[in-house]
Amino acid sequence: MRYMVDENHDDEVRDKRRRSAYRYILLLLAVILLPIVANNIYIRQLLPAAAALLLLGILMANILLLSINREAFLALPVVVAMSIALVMLSLYHGQNYSLYLLFPLLVALPIVLQTRWAMILGVLSGLVAAPVVFTQYDATTAAALGTSMGLTWLVSAWLVFAMTEQSRRLKDMAITDALTGAFNRRYLELQAARGLQDWERHQRSVSLLMLDIDNFKKINDEFGHSVGDVALKSLVTLIKERIRGVDTLCRFGGEEFVLLLSETTDTQARAVANQLRRAVESTPLLPRGRMTVSVGVCDVRQVPDIQTWFKLADGALYSAKNLGRNRVEMAESLPGFVAASAMTLRKTVAGQR
């Protein structure tokens, strides 16, 4: 299916970028290690030399694996932690120049970990390096080095936080309807594809509810579009308060919404649909009068693909419209229902909405 292909392509692109980033970071660490390896061999410090050579060998093996599209056998946080440990070992063997190699490693910590472990390792690195700094240098130089290392880590952590927050906001904008805060149609298509895939692989039932506000044009004509917008947002809030975190509410278009109910059979979905319908009817969402919704329900077990799933739910919705509105209809109650009949039914009642 097209949507599944799109999602798989996105996953492949992200995975390729992740591998490339990992490979470049490993190359950077290898370059950082080379002076330590060379100096330890030169001054015959066997323990630091053996540790540095072992770590360098691990880095090169991982780089090779990533270059041939294989997974590295050590996670990047482990590699960075091992590199920091090697620098500390070199420091305590009197190789004070290793202190300067902590700077790029401290920068890498927030980038690699992006969790509280970055802070813990950063603080531990600083505590271990502090005695070396203050015993080997005068107070002014030690203070300057300590401040520089601290600022290096803090700036790196702040940049990672800012980039992560920006990425989160951009992602939210890409999958969220700006007016109502519900997910948008693209996200719905991706989640529906995942739901269909889960059914085919693991027999996990998913039900799709298509909701449409009855006579929404009259609401806009009587109260104005601003009140209509508020009504849409209030409806989304009402529904979100009554569904689970694993369920997905999306704005399908205009005053039409789709709700994907995870691990839910058609019988359970019908009960949920009626609960929501009654809640909308009994809640004052308009300045005067009441607002109602019609709902069409279709279980994933009845469909071969996403397009058919949407069309069957759409047909059930417009059957509910045609039968008087403010009601729930099931796709299975329409024997022999096909896409053509859905379109015909939509045209029949389109002027009555």
Say what the pLDDT of residue 282 is.
93
Say what the pLDDT of residue 329 is.
93
pLDDT digit string, tens, across residues 210-229: 999 999 999 999 999 999 99
Say what the pLDDT of residue 253 is.
86
Domain layout of the chain by residue ranges:
9-175, 185-350
pLDDT digit string, tens, across residues 137-162: 788 877 887 787 777 777 777 776 77
The CA distance from 181 to 199, in Å, is 28
For residue 28, name the pLDDT band (cuts at 50, 70, 90): confident
Report the relative pairing of strands 293-299 and 328-330 from DSSP bridges. Answer: parallel
The CA distance from 262 to 244, in Å, is 9
Q: By C-alpha distance, which of 97, 78, 102 is closest to 26?
A: 78
Highest mean pLDDT out of 5-19, 110-124, 218-232: 218-232
pLDDT at 338 over 70: no
Fold that domain 185-350 belongs to in CATH? Alpha-Beta Plaits (3.30.70)
Mean pLDDT for the chain overall? 80
261 contacts 206 by C-beta, under 8 angstroms: yes
For residue 333, what are the CA distances in angstroms to 128, 286, 315, 338?
71, 32, 11, 13
Residues facing 212 on adjacent strands: 256, 294
- Write out the two tokens for 184: 């948008």
Residue type, 139: A
The CA distance from 132 to 92, in Å, is 8
Where is pLDDT greater, at 131 or 278? 278
How many residues are recorded in the chain?
A: 353
Residue 96, exposed/middle/buried by CB under 10 A (0-12, 13-18, 19+)? middle
Report the relative pairing of strands 248-253 and 206-213 from DSSP bridges. Answer: unpaired
Say what the pLDDT of residue 38 is.
81
- Write out the two tokens for 119: 């802070």
- Write out the two tokens for 132: 């070396």
Burial 108-117 (b: 16+ CB within 10 A, else e): bbbbbbeeee
Say what the pLDDT of residue 115 is.
65
Say what the pLDDT of residue 111 is.
67
The CA distance from 284 to 303, in Å, is 36
Q: Taking residues 291-310, report their average pLDDT.
A: 90
The CA distance from 20 to 210, in Å, is 42
The CA distance from 196 to 189, in Å, is 11
pLDDT at 73 over 70: yes
Which stretches of the chain are DSSP H helices? 2-42, 46-67, 76-91, 102-113, 116-136, 139-175, 185-202, 216-223, 225-240, 266-282, 306-322, 339-350
Where is pLDDT greater, at 70 or 14? 70
